[in-house]
Structure 1
Amino acid sequence: MGRIEDYGIDLPNWLQDCIKKIPPRVGQCCPLDSEALLAAAFDFAFQLHEGQFRASGEPYIVHPVAVADLLWDIGSSPSVIAAGFLHDVVEDTDVTPEQLEAYFGIEVRGLVEGVTKLGGIHFTNRTEAQAENLRKMFLAMASDIRVVLVKLADRLHNMRTISSLQSDKQQRIARETREIYAHLANRLGIGRFKWELEDLAFKLLEPDDFREIQQQVSTKRSEREDRLKVTVNLLSDRLRSMDLGNCEISGRPKHLYGIWSKMQRQQKAFHEIFDVAALRILAPSVEACYRALAVVHDTFRPIPGRFKDYIGLPKPNGYQSLHTAVIGRHRPIEVQIRTPEMHRVAEFGIAAHWKYKEGGSPASGDAERFNWLRQLVEWQQEGGNDDHNDYLASIKEDLFDEEVFVFTPKGDVVGLRKGSTAVDFAYRIHSEVGNHCHGTRINDRLCPLSTPLQNGDFVNVLTSKTAHPSLDWLNFVATPTARNRIRQWYKRSHRDETIQRGKELLERELGRNGFDALLSSEAMTRVAERCNLQTTDDLLAALGFGALTLQQVLNRLREEVRLQNLVPDHLETNYDVARSIVTKNELNPSKTSHREGEPIIGIEGLEYRLGGCCSPLPGEAIVGTVALGNHGITIHRQDCSNVSSTPSERRLPVRWNQRTVYESQRFPVQLRIEVIDRVGILKDILMRLSDSGINVSDARVKTAYGKPACIDLRVELKSSSQLSKTVEQIRSMADVLDIARIGLG
């Protein structure tokens, strides 16, 4: 271990004590002694990271040591601290998770894997990578919530040492920190991490405002400290006279981002914000907290509407305290009253109060505190909101602090976002409760579903088996969970409706007799494949939606039946037949020479056009058809219904010229998109296409009251693969119900 001194690294005292007990070498099993485990984890990380350096030039081991030290400070368990030492070894060294488990056990392996970024997978952009890494982290948190402790400590040290990175990367990391990780620390009650993460991000994202507030706070510090000292002495004397036991009173400055946020929220200047510092009273018991509150209100005049009892009604993250505001020394001052145990929970969150069973699962009494995480994981496992931008937006929304606390009929407390309604409440209870909700009683009175809930409301949701979500609910629900459940239900139910509609259209034409057998036949499956669809249900849905016409399906079905029952006679070469039919324009010598720049091979020198009925794209199998009269050749997709009705002697074998068509040419394609009708949906789709560099030459929208909107877009694409990506990109948007390719018309 002597080589650590060669790097000039200062190790925390607790780690130096552990190193004294380190075994001669890391064995093939997890050390049972806690100090030996930590020392072995440090030595293992030091050996693996030796020779690696951070962007600042420091040895890489500095980072794992700092992460482990942060975890030690908040009282994490030895397994979590060991994971802090090892959190980068799987990603940055040749060690496998299996080897990690052999050395340190399955618990440490699970924690490290939960923090490790996704590797070996190619992401098309940074947003996709960020979304997928967050998905993985939340799934890992659901099985062991302690994963997030390691991740937050990792992010905090990275923010402390971010100055060595390029400016644009600093901005990106700081924005992600404030939008996601600071709120995540708040949800888990880790105030110490939350405040520092917010201030570090604030310093990078709004540097001028940061310096100004920092200077203002520093300038007024002596005056503020003198004022607080007088108030503390006065309260101390009063509390001692009431015989409340040992009460500790201290002044605390508010963190800079909190001051700036209040200035922005209330549209006030710094000198108009009075509560830049506050008093904290630590009382020995819950009873003493309430008695201390009476002393504070008796000594100073309380400000109406500023009292909050988070002891009787704790926040969802476990936070407990009494909050009040009084007029002290001619200025408002905030006061927090709590027990030492409550203070430890407020500072350290789950590291202070979380009880673990084997594998990091929550104790039965504490699981409700993380109901939001359970619902978040359930939603993403069901495939809700597959689009990465929508997923990130919902994550950011769902991590904001909950502000409304209501009761179930049994008296259980449910925390919701401010502005939530009975529909949000129903989906928070269970998705099926939300899907079958048809009314609500709030405080035993029938109320509209759109009624905003208030603190202390008793909410009873009325359900019915025949009830189902309404698109109108999207206009008033406040939580991402409710919005996405409604959209998911509507997408599923709408698909069922379009399948049934397509089935009825086909059955009406073909007759009921033997219809079910025909649907399950090989011929119908091949018809679906020829229409670029995967299943018969997809075919029926496309027919019901209008992406395919009844005549197109019938033509292809007849041809499939004919091909299965007849062997076609040998025909002359299509190329020779077509040459004998086309007009004399083809004999023009100026047109017979092969032009390498032409996109179609097989019709050199001939007049042609792309069929508007199927709008073929490079990468798709195509065929030329010779039109009667002086109309040249039309290029169709081979599965186009117009091809099946064209005699074989008028078909011409052609193919795309792969050397030229992908370089600069674009081809028109018509898309029909069915969406939930809301303000801005067309703009969102167009922006998504613009971000992908796709030009839109025409856009038309049809709406009908109470029904989905229909958007027809003409886009310019260069290949069938680009079409597939575009369709999937639009289909993944939350409000899109269906999308299909149609003829240009």
Structure 2
Amino acid sequence: MARGLLGFGQRPIRHLDDYQIALPEWLRQCIANVHPGTDQNCPTDPEILLVSAFDFGFQLHEGQFRASGDPYIVHPVAVADLLRDIGASAPVIAAGFLHDVVEDTDVTLEEIQQHFGLEVRKLVEGVTKLGGIHFNDRTEAQAENLRRMFMAMASDIRVVLVKLADRVHNMRTIGALKEEKRQRIARETREIYAPLANRLGIGRFKWELEDLAFKLLEPEAFREIQHEVATKRSEREQRLAVTVDLLNERLQRVALEGCEVSGRPKHLYGIWSKMKRQQKAFHEIYDVAALRIITPSVETCYRALAVVHDTFRPIPGRFKDYIGLPKPNGYQSLHTAVIGRHRPIEVQIRTLEMHQIAEFGIAAHWKYKEGGSPATCSSDSERFNWLRQLIDWQQEGGNDDHNDYLSSIKEDLFDEEVFVFTPKGDVVGLLKGATAVDFAYRIHSEVGHHCHGVRINDRLCPLATPLQNGDFVQVLTSKTAHPSLDWLNFVATPTARNRIRQWYKRSHRDETIERGKNLLERELGRDGFDVLLNGEIMMRVAHRCNVVTTEDLLASLGFGAVTLQQVLNRFREEIRLQTQQQEEEPTSSEKVARALMVPKDSVQFQHSEEGTILGIEGLDYRLGGCCSPLPGETIVGTVALGNHGVTIHRQDCCNVESIPRERRLPVRWNPRLNGKRQNFSVQLRIETIDRVGILKDILMRLSDGAINVSDARVKTAAGRPARISLQVELQSADQLSRTMAQIRSMADVIGVARIGQGGP
């Protein structure tokens, strides 16, 4: 439909009256200024470009509607309007009009380029949402989406302006979506997009995104603070007005002309965060509003600061000079807190240019060169060092673990608390408690990998020394140096921790492959294992586990990046699919594989209200130690020779295969166990980084989940991971899955497995 309507740049622009939706005044003016009938093909005039992009999008989205019922074109118009508000250039605003057309219509990127040029095409390509890609879970989808976005940002940082504007309008209109989806989007907004807006210095987007997410995630707290702020508004505005008048008078008295003093309310999420951080009630937070002084020059900023401190009593330790030491996102201002009218008041002092950068970030900061990209500006390369670090980690294999990748992104996006200097005087921001190793990995992965010493303020110091504000840090490197697992005991940032673990995984690849092979062989048995391992089925299993080769799969299994149960589940699914597709004689590898399949024919059992196991009433039985079955798992009974009763196995226990069918009994768990608390022993093997206190941390994690540990043993060897054997008391298979997931989520844990998973 779209190509038939639009042709290839031959249809002229239409009259203003042809658009039957409400338009921003600036867009209406642009349409009025552009002569109807103007050719749309590759316009160079900014107004014609914007009108052409809007008209193009209007035609393509005609007949499409949002979940709210509004015409879909309302959304790209709102995105373009937000971009114009922050001062974005015409190509960026045009990309705002067109950011969804490739995904939602049959127009291609090549046609976008033909109509609007290469620059707009690249921007649209960078912000086009993922389509036609299937992920195993939502975490994987989010991680992949963010990888694509950061790669696009690395080539042209302006891509993220459209992404952020898109997210702001989606959050404004999120009410039409289901509650579960609203919560997910709001949480992602708070964790990723609001910090990203802050990183880029776009305060206007950051504050609105935080408040919109706050309203959805903590609705009661939002309404309470909104009510409190509204109730005290008149009193607060009166108090601020008196303070503003007093400061204006004092500034004029010392002949500081051109200064503008104003009061500003703090956004609701900022107030709530401060209440949580300081453990205070609303009435104990005095600075819910602040003063801002806009001055004509940097010199005037410091002179105005002197007037503020002369007029009011400054609060010790609350002065910060972000003009002399700007934040990494380019933010500059003087911050001070004083006692005014018996209450603390926050005061910000900055020039008009600094204020524009604080409000609009990169959109106000960059002067784009024609045909160029801001990412190529050498003067700004250090400003986005964090982005380069994310890209480096992606390219060196840091994307194996989606949770690690997401945690690293979140760490890199949030505000730093410690600012230190490189030997050249460049500022590097780190989390509080960061050490020289964290600093080295922030500079570059290779610097971290080859770090062997550090000079802090020209003095040799231990690598574990926490860095302080203003420290000058020089990392000493050597080609023969490599990371130590001991570093994991003191690094403060997820980025450094993840890269140390990635290095360990790569450098011990042969060892982890052998470990993974042993785990899998113990489950599948040696008979035909090599044939199966090199077969097509296992290759498909590897692809489903997001690795390229079977060897990569074994390495991931050995290191703990994937669990044995995950591999077996995907393996069984592949066998089922192949069995459905062909009924011919199976190959040798398939014969081995099908031995793992659960029989399809199910046996109907008589209900019994007596005993733990139904189907063996009156007989002695024991739970097989080879597989330690749990309620919730499919089980089978085997009659022991010599009249020794019945042994209960998991149905997928490989020991069952060696027992003749005439000695097998159909049994099942008593469903009435669901209402009783009965514990069953399970043995777990945990492989972890060897550090002091790791066993205590694991036991504390289990204690928090009310899991009893009846036995614990630790085996260590120099230069190797520690192996911990735990015997735990559990009530069901579901509880086992939750317990293993809790242990696996701990930062220093390499892998966790159930001992006795069907093997001898």
| Aligned counterpart, 1:577 | none
| Aligned counterpart, 1:197 | 209
Q: 1:486 aligns with which of 485, 493, 500?
A: 500
Q: Could you give the per-residue CA deviations for residues 503-539 of structure 1, whole angstroms, max 9, x where no partner exists?
A: xxxxxxxxxxxxxxxxxxxxx9979738979688999
| Aligned counterpart, 1:266 | 278
The yes-or-no answer on 1:24 pairing with 2:22 is no
| Aligned counterpart, 1:423 | 437
The yes-or-no answer on 1:436 pairing with 2:441 is no
Shift of 1:371: 0.5
Superposition pairs of residues 481-630 of structure 1, within 5 angstroms: 481-496=495-510, 529=534
Q: Could you give the per-residue CA deviations for residues 158-186 of structure 1, whole angstroms, max 9, x where no partner exists?
A: 11112222222222221111111111100
Superposition pairs of residues 136-155 of structure 1, within 5 angstroms: 136-155=148-167
Distance in 2, matches of 1:354 and 1:25, equals 31
- SS in structure 1 opposite 2:66? coil
Give 1:449's aligned amino acid: L
The yes-or-no answer on 1:88 pairing with 2:100 is yes
14-23 vs 97-106, greater mean Cα deviation: 14-23
Shift of 1:432: 2.0
| Aligned counterpart, 2:142 | 130
Distance in 2, matches of 1:486 and 1:280, equals 44
Shift of 1:10: 1.9
| Aligned counterpart, 1:370 | 384
Alignment check: 8 A CA contact 2:716 2:723 kept:
no
The yes-or-no answer on 1:227 pairing with 2:239 is yes
- SS in structure 1 opposite 2:476? strand
Structure 1: gaps (5+ residues): 503-523, 546-593, 599-610, 616-628, 631-639, 644-649, 653-668, 687-696, 716-726
- SS in structure 2 opposite 1:313? coil
| Aligned counterpart, 1:665 | none
170-179 vs 280-289, greater mean Cα deviation: 170-179
Distance in 1, matches of 2:219 and 2:346, equals 27
The yes-or-no answer on 1:306 pairing with 2:302 is no
Alignment check: 8 A CA contact 1:356 1:362 kept:
no
| Aligned counterpart, 1:384 | 398
Q: Could you give the per-residue CA deviations for residues 175-208 of structure 1, whole angstroms, max 9, x where no partner exists?
A: 1111111111001100011111111111122222
Alignment check: 8 A CA contact 2:538 2:550 kept:
no
The yes-or-no answer on 1:411 pairing with 2:433 is no
The yes-or-no answer on 1:33 pairing with 2:45 is yes
Alignment check: 8 A CA contact 1:387 1:734 kept:
no
Distance in 1, matches of 2:687 and 2:422, equals 38
Structure 2: gaps (5+ residues): 1-12, 517-528, 540-548, 561-598, 604-623, 629-641, 644-653, 661-681, 703-708, 729-739
Alignment check: 8 A CA contact 2:437 2:448 kept:
yes
**What is the number of residues matched between the two proteins?**
630
| Aligned counterpart, 1:345 | 357
The yes-or-no answer on 1:77 pairing with 2:89 is yes
- SS in structure 2 opposite 1:365? helix
Shift of 1:148: 0.8
Identify if the C-alpha distance between structure 1 residues 124 and 355 changes in structure 2 by more than 3 Å, giving closer, same or farther: same
Give 1:676's aligned amino acid: I
Identify if the C-alpha distance between structure 1 residues 685 and 435 changes in structure 2 by more than 3 Å, giving closer, same or farther: farther
Alignment check: 8 A CA contact 1:355 1:362 kept:
no
Alignment check: 8 A CA contact 2:67 2:176 kept:
yes
| Aligned counterpart, 2:723 | 710
| Aligned counterpart, 1:238 | 250
Give 2:88's aligned amino acid: S
Distance in 2, matches of 1:81 and 1:52, equals 21
Alignment check: 8 A CA contact 1:355 1:363 kept:
no
Q: Which has the larger radius of gyration?
A: 1
| Aligned counterpart, 2:54 | 42
Identify if the C-alpha distance between structure 1 residues 381 and 156 changes in structure 2 by more than 3 Å, giving closer, same or farther: same
Distance in 1, matches of 2:395 and 2:273, equals 35
Give 1:24's aligned amino acid: G
Alignment check: 8 A CA contact 2:559 2:751 kept:
no
Alignment check: 8 A CA contact 1:80 1:150 kept:
yes
Shift of 1:131: 1.9
Alignment check: 8 A CA contact 1:385 1:732 kept:
no
Identify if the C-alpha distance between structure 1 residues 542 and 384 changes in structure 2 by more than 3 Å, giving closer, same or farther: closer
Q: Could you give the per-residue CA deviations for residues 683-727 of structure 1, whole angstroms, max 9, x where no partner exists?
A: 9999xxxxxxxxxx9998644276413367999xxxxxxxxxxx9
- SS in structure 2 opposite 1:334? strand
Shift of 1:86: 0.6
Q: Could you give the per-residue CA deviations for residues 368-409 of structure 1, whole angstroms, max 9, x where no partner exists?
A: 111001101111222214232332233222211112111112
Distance in 2, matches of 1:536 and 1:204, equals 45
Alignment check: 8 A CA contact 1:190 1:346 kept:
yes
Identify if the C-alpha distance between structure 1 residues 737 and 529 changes in structure 2 by more than 3 Å, giving closer, same or farther: farther
Q: Could you give the per-residue CA deviations for residues 579-628 of structure 1, whole angstroms, max 9, x where no partner exists?
A: xxxxxxxxxxxxxxx99659xxxxxxxxxxxx99999xxxxxxxxxxxxx
Give 2:469's aligned amino acid: N
Q: Could you give the per-residue CA deviations for residues 641-669 of structure 1, whole angstroms, max 9, x where no partner exists?
A: xx9xxxxxx9x9xxxxxxxxxxxxxxxx9
Alignment check: 8 A CA contact 1:422 1:450 kept:
yes
Shift of 1:71: 0.2
Alignment check: 8 A CA contact 2:698 2:743 kept:
no
Distance in 2, matches of 1:72 and 1:455, equals 38
- SS in structure 2 opposite 1:209? helix
Identical columns (%): 75
Distance in 1, matches of 2:457 and 2:123, equals 44
| Aligned counterpart, 2:732 | none
Distance in 2, matches of 1:595 and 1:408, equals 65
| Aligned counterpart, 1:399 | 413
Distance in 1, matches of 2:486 and 2:512, equals 21
Superposition pairs of residues 101-140 of structure 1, within 5 angstroms: 101-140=113-152
Distance in 1, matches of 2:100 and 2:512, equals 50
Shift of 1:481: 1.8
| Aligned counterpart, 2:468 | 454
Alignment check: 8 A CA contact 1:386 1:732 kept:
no
Alignment check: 8 A CA contact 1:178 1:197 kept:
yes
431-440 vs 263-272, greater mean Cα deviation: 431-440
Q: Could you give the per-residue CA deviations for residues 445-479 of structure 1, whole angstroms, max 9, x where no partner exists?
A: 33322222111011122333343222222232222
135-144 vs 14-23, greater mean Cα deviation: 14-23
| Aligned counterpart, 1:361 | 375
42-51 vs 489-498, greater mean Cα deviation: 489-498
Give 1:127's aligned amino acid: T
Give 1:290's aligned amino acid: Y
Q: 1:255 aligns with which of 255, 267, 270?
A: 267
After superposition, the CA RMSD in angstroms is 4.9
Give 1:430's aligned amino acid: H
Identify if the C-alpha distance between structure 1 residues 238 and 51 changes in structure 2 by more than 3 Å, giving closer, same or farther: same
| Aligned counterpart, 2:609 | none
| Aligned counterpart, 1:676 | 689
Distance in 2, matches of 1:536 and 1:187, equals 39
- SS in structure 2 opposite 1:282? strand
Give 2:423's aligned amino acid: P
Distance in 1, matches of 2:748 and 2:129, equals 30
Alignment check: 8 A CA contact 1:26 1:44 kept:
no
- SS in structure 2 opposite 1:361? helix
Distance in 2, matches of 1:37 and 1:699, equals 72
Alignment check: 8 A CA contact 2:686 2:724 kept:
yes
